[in-house]
Amino acid sequence: MKRRFLALIAPPVAVCRYGCAGCCAAPIGVFWIAGLVSLIYAFFGGPAGLESFSSGTFILGAILWGVATTWAELTINGINADDKCDQNSSTLCRVVKPKLDDSNPLDEIKKFQ
């Protein structure tokens, strides 16, 4: 529950805390900050310079914030799934880990020389 709440309020912080900073924290942060700026800018008339509230800019900010939140949740869930590599429940670990009967590609090259 705490993880989802943090991912909703501050997605890049959630990725850094519950995931890894190198995964996607920077691009998620860009989407999140752009969403924040759009939400605030909507109250000042938006890019059209309206005298009142700009609903289009507000919706854009909400969408950007939603993208950042969804991306953070997917990243955190993917990292949690990859922590179970020993149980072969992660698709990434099954793709990356070589099987015992796999040959070394460099040995294959040496055969042809």
Per-residue pLDDT of 49-84, as tens digits, reads 888 999 999 999 999 999 999 999 988 888 766 655
DSSP state, 104?
A: P
What one-character-per-residue DSSP string does 17-73 give? HHS-HHHHHHHHHHHHHHHHHHHHHHTTTTTTT-SS--HHHHHHHHHHHHHHHHHHH
Q: Compute CA 39 distance to the chain's CA centroid, rounded to the nearest angstrom.
A: 21
The pLDDT of residue 16: 84
Give the separation between CA 37 and CA 27, rounded to whole angstroms: 15
pLDDT of residue 96: 55
Residue 92's pLDDT band (cuts 50, 70, 90) = very low
pLDDT at 90 over 50: no
pTM of the model: 0.68
Task: Please tell me which residue, 45 or 108, carries the higher pLDDT value.
Answer: 45
Q: How far apart are CA 75 and CA 22, in angstroms?
A: 11
